[in-house]
Amino acid sequence: MANKKQAKSLKTQIWSTIRVLLLGALFYLGVTLIFFGSGFGNSYVVQQNAEKANTTLTQKKADRNKKRKTSYDASKTKSVSAASVLRAKQIKAYAIGRIAIPAVNIHNPLFAGYGDQNQNLEYGVVTCLPDRVMGGANNYVLAGHYMGSYGPAVLDNLHLAHPGDLIYVTDLHHIYVYKIKNISFAIKPTQVEVENNVQDKSMITLITCSDFNTSKYGYGQHRTVAQGDLISKMKANQHNLVLSELTAKPKHSKKEHQVSLKDSKQHKAINKTVQVRANAKPRFYQNMTFIRTVIIIFNIVFVLAIGWRLIHIWVLK
């Protein structure tokens, strides 16, 4: 009789354990799907991708990456989604430089085209045309996703830029500085003339969706386009890279600060006061460190909860 009770008790414990593990797995999977299916999750993964591409980038790697196979067929690109960002995370992307707009807290790796598997937009900003040269006498056209108000990721804050703000791009040999001349929010996708060259003019064009105000501009129906002129070129030494916030992990000051960049003759090429606009500063819940901490805490609490339940089944029965 006692043996039967023990066998029944053991069977109950085993089934209770299976039930706890199964329900725990379903709960964890559900939370994971909700997170990665949300704007926060997409933004988090894209920022992770960008950090990975930025951290490993060197001058030699950037030079090699320029020669890699890529696509410039915009018709094959898709809107950002959980599936697209998680898929892109499994595919390598090869940066050719970096871009920064300190006034609106934009810092991204830069890629040639959309990638051989259209993965580059899920990593950062891309060049749109194969025959345009950074700093050259052409219209250097770049594009990036608008991820929503979850970032800042990619070009989320471009609509906060003003004429006069500086755009820094680098191939890690030189830094090219462009000053924003105009910014428009109601450009239709068919208005491709914004990508045209202007004779003998060195300029830049940044393009993203105007989904920051869907009631006014619709969802994916209009583009935010910022254009600027080249005003300076300098060596990409450590001093200039740090001050222009073009390093792997840029240090951006929350306070107003002076930026003095020097050319090859140590003359001041750029001398500008910069302060990140209040509405471009990430909230605490948008901070990557905060999100990582929350994820770690959630995992610890989840494991402890499952562990405690199993102890209750097997030890404190």
| Contacting residues for 153 by C-beta, under 8 A, at least 6 apart | 43, 46, 47, 50, 145, 147
* Closest by Cα among 205, 204, 225 to 159: 225
Report phi then psi at 28, rounded to 5.
-65, -45
Q: Is 32 helix (H, G, I), strand (E, B) or coil?
A: helix
Q: Which of 107, 128, 159, 209 is catalytic?
A: 209
- State the Cα–Cα distance between residues 42 and 147, nearest whole angstrom: 8
Q: Report in angstroms the alpha-carbon separations of 153 from 97, 105, 174, 260.
A: 17, 9, 24, 26
CB 124 within 8 A of CB 109: yes
Q: Which of 107, 145, 159, 222 is catalytic?
A: 145
To the query of whether residue 145 is one of the catalytic residues in this protein, the response is yes
Q: What is the DSSP string of 236-282?
A: --HHHHHHTT-SSS----SS-EEEEEE-TTS-EEEEEEE---GGGSP
To the query of whether residue 209 is one of the catalytic residues in this protein, the response is yes
The catalytic residue positions are 145, 209
